Amino acid sequence: MKRILSLFSVLFLVTLVTIAFAFAACKKTESTDRIASTGGSEWELTSEAVPVINSEPASEPTVSSEPEIIHVSGIKLSAYERTLTEGERFMPIVTMSPQNAANKAEKWETSDAAVATVNNYGNITAKKEGSCIVTVTSVDNPEIKAEFKVTVKAPEKIELTYRDGILIVNKTYPLPSSYNPGVNSEAQAALNKMFAAAKAEKNLKMWVCSGFRSYTVQKNLYNSYVRRDGAENADRYSARPGHSEHQTGLAFDINYADDRFKGTPEASWLAENAYKYGFILRYPEGKEPITGYMFEPWHYRYVGVENAAKIYASGLTLEEYFGITSAYK
CB atoms within 10 A of CB 165: 9
Count of residues in the chain:
329
Active site positions, annotated: 296
Cα end-to-end distance, the chain, whole Å: 175
| Whole-Å CA distances, 178 to 65, 103, 190, 218, 245 | 60, 40, 26, 13, 15
Contact (CB, 8 A) for 233 and 293: no
Give the whole-angstrom CA distance, residue 179 versus residue 158: 10
Judged by phi (left if over 0) then psi (alpha if -120 to 50, else beta), residue 123 lies in: beta
Give the whole-angstrom CA distance, residue 253 versus residue 261: 10
